[in-house]
Structure 1
Amino acid sequence: MNSADLGRRVGVPSTALFTDQYELTMVQAALKAGTAGRHSVFEAFTRRLPEGRRYGVVAGTGRVLDAVENFHFDEEMLGFLRDQAIVDGPTLDYLADYRFGGDIWGYPEGEVYFPGSPVLRVEGSFAECVLLETVILSILNHDSAIAAAASRMSAAAGGRRLIEMGARRTHELSAVASARAAYVGGFDTTSDLAAGFRYNIPTVGTSAHAFTLLHDSERDAFRAQVDSLGRGTTLLVDTYDVAEAVRTAVEIAGPELGAVRIDSGDLLLVAHRVRQQLDELGATGTKIVVTSDLDEYAIASLAAAPVDAYGVGTQLVTGSGHPTCSMVYKLVARAGSGDPADELLPVAKKSMGAKSSKGGRKWAARRLDEDGVAEAEVIGTGPVPEELAGRQLLVELVRGGEVVAREPLDAARDRHIAARAGLPLSAMQLSRGEAVIPTEYV
């Protein structure tokens, strides 16, 4: 396993200021009150899935581990906090020595989740755990939203290849995270080189309309591309007249032409016409790639079209209408004193309406029916029922501040494919509905 398999982490800057000010002011007040050292358990979960979604996808776990590992305050950061009078001297002293030393358990990356699923459990002193809240939620909410959209698109594609190409539609750093999450959710490649470099995701790309327009004729442009990139390249055929472009492409590259890309028009109709034309010209092995503002619904509508791959940008990197998972990070248990041996007391928010939560350190398991298909997400705080002991979902990620569960990104991708396959068939429906299995508390 090489460094590229795990993501290049060398030179990653500190993540300590990727946080909200009130995390630090809570630490200041808790230090003064003598409660900062109380053993505490926080859990990240969502109270509901985005409207119409049948399941969620855990993504970003590997990035969370990087963020925790790199969460420390350097002299420049401490100087900023001091100059802005954000926290007092004793708190600055605490932050100067900060390194997370607790334990983290969570659903492994690529696993599916449901309302109430304790996707991540962070345990340690109150101060060291509460400081991580914002950065953890920032990563999980973004990456899980992208992965869920990617999963739906992957299901709709029915085995056809998917290309992530949304870098120009979002923030440059979000683009890299989006490509990673999309890969977990089932995409095959990305156009973003930073994502390829950092996470070893396969990259693809050939040319845009600008390349065709640069040349005196479409023929000149195709000739230049084939001469440079070979006959197996993908030629963009909708700059001018599609039928003429396909004819010219095959004349220049021959039947060995790798693919043609269609980026506009009635994709269903055009794809059928292009396939027929390619076959008549003898280019029976030439693939058809379609792009142009696709989402899972558009992909599903092209199921009957002779399309070999889809390129998706805007809708993917914005979560296909749901750019966040609305995960929260709540204190669910804490000790009554600073004694590490003190018994943990369940705590929970009891506000009116949908924002209440359930206290206690939780386990989670997925109950299967007689055919091995998931039928319920079971969550509890007491002993795990014997019949569910082998179906527990949380795995150890960090022990005593040390990461113990790094894995290649392909492992998360493969896990998601398996997890999705274990859900009822109705999980793949694009029509709006509730979570495909219920959450049961015991």
Structure 2
Amino acid sequence: MDELSTATSTALCTDQYELTMLRSALAHGTAHRRAVFEVFARRLPDGRRYGVVAGVGRFLDALERFRFDEDTLAFLRDRDIVDEPTADWLASYRFSGDIWGYAEGECYFPGSPILVVEGSFAEAVLLETLSLSVLNHDSAIASAASRMVTAAGGRPIIEMGSRRTHEVAALAAARAAYIGGFSSTSNLAAGQRYAIPTRGTSAHAFTLLHDSEKETFTAQVAALGRGTTLLVDTFDVREAVRIAVEVAGPDLGSVRIDSGDLLVLAHEVRAQLDELGATRTRILVSGDLDEYAIAALGVAPVDAYGVGTALVIGSGHPTAELVYKLVARSASNDPESPVIGVAKLSTGKPTHKGRKWARRLLDNGIAAAEIVSTGSEADLPGRRLLVPLVKDGEIVGREPLDAARERRARSLAELPPTALMLSRGEPVLPTMYESGQDAET
């Protein structure tokens, strides 16, 4: 199976227990009760002050391909995962309900209902693993990327993590990083699929291919022009910078430093470039950077960063800790039967019952609280957060990737200034749960 194909069915991106529940519910006659599931985080990853929603567009694409074809059903029958009645039902599966969600790029907090899935239990329960695998990964990456962008203070960051993760995850990471504020990616497949700007320099192997750095730089400049980026830390940085300017002249585009004490080297290289007349030549640094290393380089004459490993592992938090829980269901299969709130009381894992709406309470343009309510959305104060993504089975929530990228910047800008702190801390907004006129924090 071509894992990169946009035509591949996503139906088996599903944990077996979802089909176990479906099979049992169909046999028992409860499968067609109306149900509401929510995706939310009980808590943010340890020490984080906010999260960034990402993966919504990828989830909608995957939902469109969530179909059980003959090969898929044959596999499920052979393993006795489904019986014939269940297989017959799955053969015509099409999600026909409604899905609401936080738009991509929106900041979120503990309890934020970032995805609300409404449909029959049978239709909605199957989407648990698909939604969580996409949103947990992408939101973790976008959240880490956003912190790195803040640390960079306006200097661009190139996503360079493809070699440190699965080839399919690399595309998702590049997309999420762009939403989080990264300026470009080194991954060409991500550039093609998502129209993200792409950038690339060269590796030490290219230098070692040649008999000297002068030959290396001459070959690269001849092929790519004086605006290229030359890698200067294979041997002696100072000598490499001298040769780079000798070969390319003062109009050399950039030099890249990938090792050593980047803070010290950046100052030394900037001074040397200026002495050689290459005052417009930029300095790109890379090599095991995370938001803390980027922040430490804030006083250095660095023009851009390249980040790989730390990004694709969410800078230490590779999951957003999102869960998918049933919060309401009807008492019968009658479509007119009222939907009632349900909640689990498990130790350490309780849920809040009822279908919820969310608004962000603002005070003079600065966010003050996340309001999550089972009441009427129209009665809630603040900025609306949930937007329609799927209506009666039809996808209505697609948008350009740049819209998500811009939303991340706007959403972050309205948070209290403490949101931008890199030190460990609590979420910058409290989550207030409301039911009618009663509220709890």
Fold shared by both chains (TM-score > 0.5): yes
- The residue correspondences of 1:198-347 to structure 2 (distance < 5 A) are 198-347=193-342
User: Structure 2: how far apart are the matches of 1:10 and 1:266?
Assistant: 42
- Count residues in correspondence: 431
Aligned residue for 2:371, secondary structure, equals strand
Q: 1:215 to 1:64 in 2, by over 3 A?
A: same
TM-score by length of 2: 0.96
The aligned residue for residue 379 of structure 1 is: 372
Q: CA deviation at 1:10?
A: 7.7
User: Once the 2 structures are TM-superposed, how far is the Cα of residue 11 of structure 1 from its aligned partner?
Assistant: 4.0
The Cα offsets for residues 13-36 of structure 1, whole Å up to 9 and x where unpaired, read as 110000100101100000011110
Counterpart CA distance in 1 for 2:304 and 2:248 is 20
Q: Which runs of 4+ in 1 moved over 6 A?
A: none
- CA distances 1:61-108 after superposition (whole Å, capped 9, x unpaired): 000101111100111111111111111110000111101111000000
Per the alignment, residue 153 of structure 1 pairs with 148
Q: Is 1:431 matched with 2:426? A: no
| Structure 1 residue 391: Cα displacement | 1.3
Q: Distance in 2 between matches of 1:412 and 1:384?
A: 23
Distance 1:387 1:196 in 2: 40
Instruction: Map Cα deviations across residues 304-335 of structure 1 (whole Å, 9 max, x no partner).
Output: 00000000000000000000011000000001
Q: For each residue in 1:270-290, what CA deviation from the matched residue of structure 2 results, as whole angstroms up to 9, or x when unmatched?
A: 000000000111111100000
Distance change (3 Å), C-alpha of 1:384 and 1:325: same
- Give the partner amino acid of 2:237: V
Task: For 1:12 and 1:314, locate their aligned partners in 2 and report how far apart those are by CA, in whole Å.
Answer: 29
Partner of 1:420: 412
Separation in structure 1 between the aligned mates of residue 379 and residue 83 of structure 2, nearest angstrom: 50
Are residues 1:23 and 2:15 paired? no
Go from structure 1 to structure 2 and tell me whether the alpha carbon gap of 1:387 and 1:379 turns closer, same or farther (over 3 Å shift).
Answer: closer
* Rounded Cα–Cα distance in structure 2 between residues aligned with 1:149 and 1:34: 44
Quote the residue 1:364 is aligned against: 358
- Give 3-state SS (helix, strand or coil) of 1:433's partner: coil
Counterpart AA for 1:250? V
Q: Which amino acid aligns with 1:128?
A: E
Q: Any idea what SS the aligned residue of 1:210 has?
A: helix
Task: Return 80-89 or 221-230, whichever deviates more.
Answer: 80-89
Q: Is residue 355–residue 374 contact of structure 2 (8 Å, CA) maintained in 1?
A: yes
Match of 2:55 among 60, 80, 83: 60
SS in 2 for 1:310: strand
Inter-partner Cα distance in structure 1 for 2:395 and 2:95: 11
Q: Given that residues 359 and 380 in structure 2 are in contact (C-alpha distance below 8 angstroms), is that contact kept between their aligned partners in structure 1?
A: no
Matches within 5 A, 1:92-241: 92-241=87-236
TM value normalised by structure 1: 0.96
Match of 2:369, as an amino acid?
A
| CA drift at 1:350 | 1.2
Gaps of 5+ in 2: 435-441
AA of the residue aligned to 2:264: L
Write the letter of the residue equivalent to 2:140: A
Per the TM alignment, residue 206 of structure 1 is displaced from its structure 2 partner at its CA by 2.3
Root mean square deviation, CA, Å: 1.0
CA-to-aligned-CA distance 1:327-348 (integer Å, 9 cap, x gap)? 0000000011111111001001
Give the deviation of 1:256 after TM superposition. 1.0
Could you say which residue in structure 2 is the equivalent of 1:4? none
Q: Distance in 2 between matches of 1:383 and 1:417?
A: 29
